[in-house]
Amino acid sequence: MSRSYTYFYFDLKLKSPSETALEAGLDLYAEDTYMAAEFFNQRFQGIKKITILEVEGIAVRLMLVYERSTPEKVTAKELTVFSRYLYNERGWDKFTKEPTKLFIPTKIVPMQWHEAHFAITADFERDPDDELIKRYPSLWPDWADFGFEPEEEVTVSCEEDDDISSYEDELSDEQLIAVLNSILATQDMGSHKAKEAKKSVIKQIKKLITPWAIYG
């Protein structure tokens, strides 16, 4: 189930972008990355898989998920097969000035299942009914359909008199810290709307706690 998986968000960019890449960007070649993801996932079936989240400018954002054991150190080298497929099979050599060198990571963020799920469904607004998913199943991976399975029993209430304040009262200190850490770690991820929303929340929180930091 989902708890046996480990999740890593990757933000990649072209290491030495060519004039072609700088002028045109990679946006129109997003489908190449979907093909590369399908190839990668078939190659490492049952071991690890990737899901493309976004192709924008000279950047590619994706989720790498391990289904079994996770390396002690996760680096961009885990995506070598993905990169080679783009370079050799899809002609992405035209996007780099440095032979055989395509991407460098600008961010690698380990995530919990709920953070990864939020990234694909909210930050990057992936729609499971998108027609592209029929051609490229990796765009909506199996773990996106998993239900969250907490270690302890959780009571859920959907009564009409349950309002926002009641949920706030029930948020534990540990949950609060986890949510804040997640917002801080992913503030530059997702759509423009999602990033602005998270930065606004961070700004409000800072405004509230600054007096406590100064005066104790």
CATH value at residue 8: 3.30.70.3190
**Assigned domain for 65 exists:** yes
How does the average pLDDT of the chain come out, rounded? 81
Residues 126 and 174 in one domain: no
**Assigned domain for 154 exists:** no
Residues 52 and 93 in one domain: yes
| pLDDT tens digits along 14-27 | 999 999 999 999 99
Residues 72 and 124 in one domain: yes
Q: Is the pLDDT of residue 106 over 60?
A: yes
Nearest 5°: CA angle at 51, between 50 and 57?
A: 115
Q: Is the pLDDT of residue 142 over 50?
A: yes
**Assigned domain for 53 exists:** yes
| pLDDT tens digits along 184-198 | 877 887 667 677 777
Residues 58 and 126 in one domain: yes
Residues 173 and 139 in one domain: no
Residues 6 and 109 in one domain: yes
**Assigned domain for 91 exists:** yes
**Assigned domain for 55 exists:** yes
Predicted pLDDT at 161: 37
Nearest 5°: CA angle at 190, between 46 and 150?
A: 55
| pTM for the predicted model, two decimal places | 0.70
Range of the domain at 204: 164-215
Predicted pLDDT at 155: 33
Q: Is the pLDDT of residue 97 over 80?
A: yes
Predicted pLDDT at 162: 34
Predicted pLDDT at 147: 55
Residues 17 and 116 in one domain: yes
Which residue would you say has higher pLDDT here, 115 or 160? Answer: 115
Total structural domains in the chain?
2
Residues 35 and 140 in one domain: yes
User: Which band of pLDDT confidence, cut at 50, 70 and 90, is reported for residue 167?
Assistant: very low
**Assigned domain for 152 exists:** no
Integer Cα distance of 83 and 78 in angstroms: 10
The answer to whether the CB of 44 falls within 8 A of the CB of 74 is no
Last residue of a domain, one of 92, 118, 145: 145
| pLDDT tens digits along 42-89 | 999 999 999 999 999 999 999 999 998 888 889 999 999 999 999 999
Percent of the chain predicted with pLDDT > 90: 48
Last residue of a domain, one of 92, 111, 145: 145
